[in-house]
Amino acid sequence: MRKLLTRLFFIFGILSALQAQQAPQYSLFLLNPYAYNPACAGLENTLVATGVYRQQWSSLRGAPETQHLNIHLPLFMISSGAGLKVENDIIGAHRTTQAMLSFSYQLQLGRNLQLSVGASGGYLQYALDGAKLRAPDGLYEPAGTFLHNDPLLPEGKVNAGTPAVEAGLHLQWNDLSIGLATQPIFAPVLEDGNTGGFRLQPVQHFLGTVSYQFGVGDNLAVKPGILFKSDINITQVEISTIIRWRENIFAGASFRGMRSSARDAFVLFGGLRLNERTTLAYSFDIPVSALEAANRGSHELLLRYDLNKPIGTGKLPPIIYNPRFF
């Protein structure tokens, strides 16, 4: 399978080792923490729904394209949160689709210290369209001949699915947030039962986040953050800062890849609150990797809906007056 993936990435021009990872890339991670960590479900004390569309390496044929949708809310009565995440990631002939349900439990460790423990369970579906592949020794004639002449490359569509489990921790201390998650913590080998020759092992990724928010005057808030992503063999670090003005307008910048061998992009982003419940954000990645000459950057659009009021607190018990104080 390793030989197959090597050939496919060569065909599509996707030669960056970091982007060969299976986990999708998001530039607006500070606005969408639940996408990376199930322990963040319900932490915002209201219902939140977020949709993301990302077009990576624009103008590069076979480049990644991702659609993401999630919704989560608190369950105050049991100090918990619940959520749903649906994701579709396309890279050339590859398509990975997953749907995950999440549950988190919050522990109050101190007056201003809270630990959230979360897990997600769902299903991951992988598809490979052999008709979109081209091999060096293949025969592809307009008359209808289509032959890869390679036993590792399928000529039709290959589909395989498996259950998957993710887990995460999130620590909140005043305005400091620290998170750690795995995607997936467990997923069996993907196999196609029809051909019997296709096998793919989902790669386990470890994701860490650190962010801190502080105010500058009465109207300005600044939030720097760091995102770590690793599959043990390769680690990528992204630093980002977002500046908000009166909670209505925001802008920021990020840099992805601290080491010269992992350098990927410089990111500019901004957005605004369309109304008291809806926020729109856009980011543009300026490439600085070896693929700089072959693409026109990456685009990401995020739409967030925030109910903007507490839910699920339950009905307060009736007041019983003590006769002594009548």
Task: Evaluate the CA torsion angle 225, 202, 90, 68 in order and state its sign.
Answer: negative
Task: Report, in this order, helix, strand and coil percent for the chain, each rounded to 5.
Answer: 10, 50, 35
- Nearest one of 153, 27, 38 to 98, comparing CA atoms: 38
pLDDT tier at 194, thresholds 50, 70, 90: low
Q: In the numeric block, which tokens belong to residue 150? A: 């390679």
Predicted confidence at residue 9, as pLDDT, reads 37
Q: In the numeric block, which tokens belong to residue 186? A: 């467990």
Nearest-5° Cα angle at 325, 322 to 326: 95
Assess whether pLDDT exceeds 50 at residue 3. no
Q: Provide the Cα torsion 93, 13, 196, 124; round to 10°.
A: -60
Assess whether pLDDT exceeds 70 at residue 296. yes
Q: Per-residue b/e over 168-199, b at no fewer than 16 CB within 10 Å?
A: bbbbbeeeebebbbbbbeebeebbbeeeeebe
**Range among 39-53, 188-202, 298-312 with highest mean pLDDT value:** 39-53
- Position 104, amino acid: S
Q: What separation in angstroms does the CA of 78 have from each of 166, 187, 313, 314?
A: 21, 29, 10, 11
- Contact assessment for residue 16 and residue 264, using Cβ atoms and an 8 Å cutoff: yes
Predicted confidence at residue 198, as pLDDT, reads 65
Q: In the numeric block, which tokens belong to residue 143? A: 């008359």
Place of tokens 């887990």: 167
- Nearest one of 92, 29, 85, 38 to 229, comparing CA atoms: 29
Predicted confidence at residue 206, as pLDDT, reads 93
Predicted confidence at residue 1, as pLDDT, reads 39
pLDDT tier at 17, thresholds 50, 70, 90: very low
Q: Alpha-carbon distance 164 to 190, whole Å?
A: 11
Q: Alpha-carbon distance 100 to 109, whole Å?
A: 28
Assess whether pLDDT exceeds 80 at residue 127. yes
Predicted confidence at residue 167, as pLDDT, reads 96
DSSP state of 315: P
pLDDT tier at 256, thresholds 50, 70, 90: very high
Q: In the numeric block, which tokens belong to residue 193? A: 């039962």
CATH topology of domain 2-313: Porin (2.40.160)
Kindly report which listed range (79-88, 259-268, 272-281) carries the lowest average pLDDT score.
259-268
Give the domain ranges of the chain: 2-313
Of residues 224 and 151, the one with the higher pLDDT is: 224
Q: Alpha-carbon distance 186 to 46, whole Å?
A: 30
DSSP secondary structure of 207-256 = EEEEEE-EEETTTEEEEEEEEEEE-SS-EEEEEEEEEEETTTEEEEEEEE
Predicted confidence at residue 155, as pLDDT, reads 74
Place of tokens 């394209």: 65
Of residues 230 and 69, the one with the higher pLDDT is: 69
